């Protein structure tokens, strides 16, 4: 395992779930809940002859950023594609609930400087959604996570952190959309149906999953940043994600609410306007949309470094 200092300068994309969890919070502050030593594995996988993992593929715990407790959920894409089942789903749900309870306690104990101590939930998504082996239990876990996020709303920020290999797809794409703030790197991807599945169902003419540039233009961090589906675009470094979280912990809750993309009548209207725009424009590629939002040379954007991209990019202006 790399040291914290090494982790800060390491690629977020290449890091495993535990490395990401450790590196997203301040040095030496991370404590894991139900770690590998607790051996809390899935009860459903052994009967199906599928390999198990001691942490069920998700690392949960708490660390600090400054005085802010940061509750971390970090998914491991190498274990069954990061899919969510009963055990890792329950870990995720309870971590969010715990963050909310801790917020209440801190508010009672430190009413004067609560703003400096307000907790935050950071979820590092690397998942294809429901773990099909666990069928209903996996689906139920998704619903419970949605509920937990809704319960935390207006109380503590719930932040989606997306920059890992598998991306964030399936049911967990919905869950990421339901968070308050989304932080991505250009390597991160969010969607509902993954590229391979679209190709399989609709054919190569509809979506060529082997065309990586197309896949990233459609689901990647830069596209999400331009359209407004993500709030922060950062370099692929664990330390940069850490810094972005350090920014979010300081933002007041009413400002956090404005960073959401769904969850109110007004936001539904905004999404409908975006759908209408796409229907009117009939874009053949994401780049047509980027041009519409004021990027004169959209074809130059994909190859830019994140720093250069952030200097020149024009984003959709939110109403």
Partner 1 sequence: MALQTLEFEFKSANTQSISKEWSHHGVTGSGDMECLMEKKDLGGGVKAKVVTPVKGFDKVWEKMIGKFVADTGVGNVSIEINDDNATPIVVYMRLRQALAEATAKEAE
Does the CA dihedral 10-12-18-23 come out positive or negative?
Answer: positive
Site for partner 1 in 210-269 (CB under 8 A): none
Write down the least CB distance from residue 45 to partner 1, Å.
8
The rounded distance, in Å, linking the Cα atoms of 44 and 222 is 38
φ/ψ bin of 229: left (φ > 0), alpha (ψ from -120 to 50), beta (otherwise) = alpha
Given 76, 187, 199, 236, the residue binding partner 1 (CB under 8 A): 76
Write down the least CB distance from residue 194 to partner 1, Å.
17
Write down the least CB distance from residue 46 to partner 1, Å.
4
In this structure, what token pair is assigned to residue 252? 């007041």
Residue 50 near partner 1 by CB under 8 A: yes
Residue 52 near partner 1 by CB under 8 A: yes
Given 66, 78, 213, 299, the residue binding partner 1 (CB under 8 A): 78
In this structure, what token pair is assigned to residue 251? 């933002």
The rounded distance, in Å, linking the Cα atoms of 112 and 116 is 9
The rounded distance, in Å, linking the Cα atoms of 290 and 19 is 34
Annotate each residue in 8-47 with x if it binds partner 1 (CB under 8 A) or - if it does not, as one string.
Answer: --------xx-----------------xxx-x-x---xxx
Residue 5 near partner 1 by CB under 8 A: yes
| Shorter beta-carbon distance to partner 1: residue 45 or 145 | 45
Exposed / middle / buried, residue 317 (Cβ in 10 Å: 0-12, 13-18, 19+):
exposed
Q: Which residues bind partner 1 (CB under 8 A)?
A: 1-5, 16-17, 35-37, 39, 41, 45-54, 76, 78-79
């Amino acid at each position: 395992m790399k040291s914290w200092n090494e982790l800060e300068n390491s690629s977020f994309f290449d890091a495993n779930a535990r490395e990401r969890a450790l590196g997203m919070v301040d040095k030496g502050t991370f404590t894991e809940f139900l770690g590998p030593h607790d051996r809390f594995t899935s009860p459903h996988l052994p009967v199906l002859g599928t390999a198990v993992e001691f942490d069920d593929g998700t690392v949960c715990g708490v660390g600090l950023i400054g005085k802010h407790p940061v509750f971390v959920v970090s998914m491991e894409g190498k274990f069954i594609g990061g899919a969510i089942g009963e055990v890792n789903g329950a870990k995720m749900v309870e971590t969010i609930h715990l963050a909310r309870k801790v917020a209440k306690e801190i508010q009672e104990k430190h009413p004067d400087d609560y703003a400096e101590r307000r907790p935050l939930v950071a979820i590092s998504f690397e998942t294809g959604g429901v773990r099909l082996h666990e069928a209903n239990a996996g689906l139920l876990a998704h619903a419970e996570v949605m509920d937990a996020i809704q319960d935390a709303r207006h109380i503590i920020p719930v932040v989606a952190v997306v920059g890992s290999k598998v991306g964030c797809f399936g049911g967990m794409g919905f869950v990421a959309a339901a968070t308050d703030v989304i932080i991505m790197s250009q390597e991160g991807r969010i969607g509902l149906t993954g590229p391979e599945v679209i190709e399989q169902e609709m054919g190569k003419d509809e979506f060529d999953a082997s065309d990586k540039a197309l896949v990233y233009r459609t689901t990647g961090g830069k596209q999400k940043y331009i359209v407004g589906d993500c709030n922060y675009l950062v370099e692929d470094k664990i330390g940069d994600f850490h810094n972005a979280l350090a920014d979010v912990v300081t933002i007041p809750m009413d400002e956090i609410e404005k960073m959401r993309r769904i969850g109110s009548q007004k936001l539904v209207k905004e999404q409908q306007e975006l759908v209408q725009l796409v229907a009117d424009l009939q874009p053949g590629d994401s780049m047509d949309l980027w041009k519409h939002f004021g990027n004169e040379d959209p074809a130059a954007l994909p190859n830019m470094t994140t720093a250069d991209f952030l200097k020149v990019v024009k984003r959709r202006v939110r109403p």
